[in-house]
Chain A
Amino acid sequence: MVVKRATRSTLTRAVGLSAAVLAAVLIGAPLIGSTTIDLAQAFTARESTDSVIFFSARLPRVLLAMLAGGALAVAGVLFQALLRDALATPYTLGVSSGASLGAVIAICFGLELVAHLPAIWVAAFLGSAIALATVLAVASEGRRMSSFTLLLSGVTMNSVCLAVILFLQNVASFTQSVAITRWLMGSIEAVEYSTLFWLSVAVFPPLAFIFWKAGEWNLLSVGEEWAASRGVNVTQLMRGGFLAGSLLTGAVTALTGPIGFVGLIVPHALRMRLGADHRLLIPCSFLLGAAFLALCDTLSRVILAPTEVPVGVITALLGGPFFIWLLRSRRRSLWL
């Protein structure tokens, strides 16, 4: 497989194909479910059951899965470039669990609004930023950061956050305790369209920033000095990157809880096909990450229908073996 240089035409083709896949999922996924619906009926008769199921239950859920999947996949690419580590994702670094803990704390203290913003979102963002800063501080030894300490710090962060969430769940009231369950294992649920709108407002600016800096992530993913000696302002870029990554993870996790492995599977599969150029990798990761999580969520709805499995279970079952395969194949290339 020959990796071609990124040009306008390779970008157009790769993005076109990914968008086609996403469109197919967008059309197909809402039709699948425990009840069969008639699409013509759904669009023509506003008050019909078909219409309610399609527009209030399935479509917003598919759209949420898409926004979340796209954002998580791009966050994965971003953390991998920032830390020069193919195993770095919001989930493996403990950023997702930090965000979850933030959300749970907001629920337990009954916070509604912070500075006119929904408290859960603010707390999830702060949680992800604090978790990220802590993991990086623990893992860095001077200027270097080893992959092992990074992963171990992430694992530790995950267990500690999970423990605190379980603790809070036990002291919380019954209703709070039910609400908290979502932040133990990520799941996608139908939401209001206004919520989807606000999620878009939160995730698209960081996504745009990340795509705008695509060329610079290429250099940074090679090395900090490599990037600096080619004209990149590394300190500023990294600061922007960590902020954007925390925002993406925080906003998504506030609505879905911690969903793992999307940021690992999607970028990796794409790198095998497209190579490492972030100008292709970032837009395609968004589109296919969106399609991937929407498919996983569809699977989670039908696999034990009428019962639903949290989508985090599906992604973990797919992602776990993938992670191990990656760890082993990488060890061969890195330590020989």
Chain B
Amino acid sequence: MSFGYVLSAAGMRYGDRDVLHSVSVAFNQPGLVAIAGPNGAGKSTLLNVMAGLRESYAGSCQFESREVRAWPRRAFARRVAVVPQALRLEFPFTAEQVVLMGRTPYCDGLFESPEDLAHVENAMAFTDTLPFRTRDFRDLSGGERQRVILASALAQDTPVLLLDEPTTFLDLHHQVSLYQLLRRLAAAGRLIIAVTHDLNLAATYSDRVLLLSNGAVAADGPPAGVLTPARIRDVFSVDVQRLAAPDGRSWIVYGRETGHA
């Protein structure tokens, strides 16, 4: 049994639209991987295929040497946790109840065990969500909700974590602390794959960037090699410059549109 994912010629069609075609990549060691690319490049679709939420994918997407769609749901949920971008609730669940749902794949009786509760407590402490544990999830701000959703996935205690634009609603402080948390998790031997629009966050924190364009892989490798000004111009049609920060990190700056050549 091998660690993580191996995709070969994985594809996905919605109607007659090829959203993802012939993606062959492997995510087979621990680390933080950022998936970047323009709108409609297939980032979320790729993430959903790996999360086992799109079973009609073409080609092959294997997790731990077994096709994703062939995994029993409960066993898969103990290996892979998914963080959706947002969640709209119809019913008055509290923040804590939302996090508790992450323990479902371990829960055998009607109620959670003390061990489940310890995981929930930890996950909520990590994400700074304990102060509003008993509040109605629907009354929380966008950023607070996003952290509760993350806590729910952490409570799932899996070696693999898939996140769909986890920083959309977060303020600067929480963006940075989220990525620092993801780094710590990756350093502890987990595989973290996050779809992101923020190229600088991706460049600063990830070990590897997978750049998608029109449903195919445009580049794949360490951030410095992938996020070059020339490639960003090709893929995003935006002129960028790479500046060196005083501490030696490079920073991608943009603001001017290119005329299409």
By a beta-carbon cutoff of 8 Å, the part of chain A in contact with chain B is: 2-8, 11, 80, 84-86, 214-216, 218-219, 221-223, 225-226, 228-233, 271, 275-277, 279, 333
Q: Is the interface of B mostly helix, strand, loop or mixed?
A: mixed
What 1/0 mask marks residues of chain B from 72 to 94 whose CB sits below 8 Å from any chain A CB? 01111110111010010111111
Contact with B110, one of A4, A233, A279 (Cβ below 8 angstroms)? A279
Are A222 and B101 neighbours in the complex by a CB distance under 8 Å? yes
For the complex with contacts A225-B84, A229-B81, A230-B104, 20 further pairs of A-B residues with Cβ separation under 8 Å are: A3-B92, A4-B134, A7-B111, A218-B93, A218-B97, A218-B101, A221-B90, A222-B93, A222-B98, A222-B101, A223-B84, A225-B82, A231-B74, A231-B75, A231-B78, A231-B105, A271-B92, A275-B94, A276-B92, A277-B97
Task: A320 to B219: give the CA distance in the assembly, Å.
Answer: 60
Residues 89-127 of B contacting A (Cβ, < 8 Å): 89-94, 96-98, 100-102, 104-105, 107, 110-111
Are B87 and A222 neighbours in the complex by a CB distance under 8 Å? yes
Contact with A86, one of B77, B81, B90, B100 (Cβ below 8 angstroms)? B90
Q: Can you name 10 A-B pairs with beta carbons within 8 Å?
A: A3-B92, A3-B94, A3-B136, A6-B111, A221-B90, A225-B53, A226-B87, A228-B73, A271-B92, A279-B110
Are B93 and A275 neighbours in the complex by a CB distance under 8 Å? yes
User: B241 to chain A: closest CB distance in Å?
Assistant: 39
Residues of B within 8 A of A8 (CB): 111
* CB closest residue in chain A, given B101: A219
Task: A44 to B77: give the CA distance in the assembly, Å.
Answer: 61
Task: A8 to B113: give the CA distance in the assembly, Å.
Answer: 11
Are A230 and B101 neighbours in the complex by a CB distance under 8 Å? yes
* CB closest residue in chain B, given A9: B111
User: B194 to chain A: closest CB distance in Å?
Assistant: 15
User: A120 to chain B: closest CB distance in Å?
Assistant: 35
Assess whether B10 is interfacial by the CB under 8 Å rule.
Answer: no
Inter-chain contact total with CB atoms closer than 8 Å:
90
Are A215 and B73 neighbours in the complex by a CB distance under 8 Å? no
Are A226 and B73 neighbours in the complex by a CB distance under 8 Å? no
Residues of B within 8 A of A86 (CB): 90-91
User: B152 to chain A: closest CB distance in Å?
Assistant: 8
Nearest 4 Cβ contacts at the A-B interface: A231-B77, A276-B91, A231-B74, A231-B105
Assess whether B30 is interfacial by the CB under 8 Å rule.
Answer: no
Assess whether B197 is interfacial by the CB under 8 Å rule.
Answer: no
Assess whether B62 is interfacial by the CB under 8 Å rule.
Answer: no
Are B104 and A222 neighbours in the complex by a CB distance under 8 Å? no
Are A276 and B97 neighbours in the complex by a CB distance under 8 Å? yes
